[in-house]
């Protein structure tokens, strides 16, 4: 079941370009990390309040990555937008956590990419989403994360700091690819965890179906439908970047890597479709198992009823209050009746066994 936060969307009541945070309430401050790097240099500093310290140093071919953890302070986002000359409509989308995944070009020097990061809680069986915005400029990359409590790009920062791979040698569009690919790969990990849950559910349904299993199936079905809504736009966005790139921010050599990310997005969609089919099959299996279990119970009750029918008849006959019933005066009549009932019961059990009803 997807973790839902009660968010009142007031963005429809404001003018276009008005900066208003739409999301759940948080009580921590915004944390900004500024990373400047090239093939030989890596510099990192953390800024929490004084945003005037944010500067873009282009000397020595340095590239700047500014990662913002927390978007719940519109004034801070406005200041960052002023520093990097960002369009108000772009900043409005950054602050709106209800914004669906999309790709937009703002002129020839700004590319805006927004999507949802997903985490799966294996204990509560709940999907938790986080609004993520990525802005690529000519000499800077900005990433905005909704929560601000856990940095989803921590792995990329470790690679960047250590200088492993090509991440420090290539342009910022490759860093954009790395961020997008990390989120998509996380989708694959979430789907694998859901697959494991579905396999366990299949075993439970086969062995002993319970109502809780049905509830979990409906929950997973809802989660998968939501993931499909989040993944389909990403696939189309990447396809658009590969075929109809409207500016030169994404280089041809990076498009090769974006094609790989697009393949991963297609794989996510295919796996989600496969999971939807699997859930439908498990629902049919659950209903079939419950029906078979009920049929087994009814069969047992029917056999018991059939066994007791002649016994009830015999008891009913000799329970009548007539004065002249010869068997009532027999010395061993009580034992005869018991013998008849026992033989009748054993005979029916043998017959049922022979017919393979037992």
For the chain, the residue count is 358
Q: What is the pLDDT along the chain (358 residues), one digit of tens a residue?
A: 444 444 545 544 555 657 888 877 777 778 888 888 888 888 888 887 666 667 676 666 788 999 998 888 888 889 888 888 899 999 999 999 888 899 998 888 899 999 999 888 777 777 888 899 999 998 899 999 987 556 788 888 888 888 877 888 888 999 999 999 999 999 999 999 888 889 988 998 888 888 888 888 888 898 898 888 888 899 888 888 888 766 788 888 888 899 999 999 999 999 999 999 999 999 999 888 888 888 888 888 888 888 888 888 888 887 887 777 777 777 788 888 888 889 988 988 888 888 777 7
**Would you call 243 helix, strand, or coil by DSSP?**
helix
CA distances 350 to 336, 343, 355, Å, are: 21, 10, 9
Report the alpha-carbon distance of residue 111 to residue 119 in Å, rounded: 26
DSSP letters, 46-96, are: EESS-GGG-----GGG-EEEEEEE----HHHHHHHHHHHT--HHHHHHHHB
Euclidean distance between CA atoms 180 and 256, whole angstroms: 14
CB atoms within 10 A of CB 287: 13
pTM of the model: 0.77
pLDDT tens-digit map of 208-227: 888 888 888 888 898 898 88
User: Which of 89, 91, 73 has its CA nearest to residue 81?
Assistant: 91
Using CA atoms, how far residue 100 sits from 26, 115, 204, in Å, is 21, 7, 36
Measured over the CA atoms of residue 214, residue 215, residue 221 and residue 227, the dihedral's sign is negative
């Amino acid at each position: 079941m997807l973790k839902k936060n009660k968010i009142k969307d007031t963005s429809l009541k404001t003018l276009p370009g008005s900066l208003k945070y739409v999301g759940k309430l948080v009580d921590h401050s915004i944390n900004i990390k500024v990373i400047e790097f090239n093939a030989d240099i890596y510099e990192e500093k953390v800024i929490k309040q004084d945003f005037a310290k944010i500067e873009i140093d282009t000397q020595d071919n340095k590239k700047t990555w500014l990662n913002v953890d927390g978007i719940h302070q519109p004034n801070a986002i406005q200041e960052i937008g002023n520093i990097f000359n960002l369009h108000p409509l772009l900043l409005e989308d950054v602050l709106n956590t209800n914004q669906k995944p999309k790709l937009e070009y703002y002129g020839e020097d700004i590319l805006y990419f927004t999507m949802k990061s997903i985490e799966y809680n294996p204990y509560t069986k709940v999907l938790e989403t986080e609004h993520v915005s990525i802005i690529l400029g000519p000499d800077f990359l900005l990433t905005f994360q909704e929560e601000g409590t856990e940095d989803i790009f921590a792995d990329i920062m470790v690679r960047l700091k250590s200088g492993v791979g090509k991440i420090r040698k290539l342009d910022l569009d490759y860093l954009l690819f790395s961020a997008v690919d990390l989120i998509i790969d996380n989708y694959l990990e979430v789907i694998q965890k859901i697959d494991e849950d579905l396999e366990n559910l299949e075993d439970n349904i086969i062995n002993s179906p319970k109502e809780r299993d049905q509830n979990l199936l409906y929950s997973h079905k809802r989660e998968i439908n939501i993931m499909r809504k989040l993944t389909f736009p990403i696939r189309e966005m990447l396809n658009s970047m590969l075929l109809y790139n409207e500016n030169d921010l994404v280089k041809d050599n990076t498009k090769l890597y974006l094609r790989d990310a697009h393949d991963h997005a297609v794989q996510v969609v295919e796996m989600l479709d496969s999971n939807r089919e699997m859930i439908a099959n498990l629902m049919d299996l659950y209903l079939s198992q419950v029906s078979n279990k009920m049929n087994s119970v009814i069969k047992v009750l029917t056999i018991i009823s059939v066994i007791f029918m002649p016994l009830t008849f015999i008891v009913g006959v000799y329970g009548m209050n007539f004065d002249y019933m010869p068997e009532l005066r027999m010395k061993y009549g009580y034992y005869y009746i018991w013998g008849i009932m026992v033989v009748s019961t054993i005979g029916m059990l043998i017959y049922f066994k022979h017919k393979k009803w037992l």
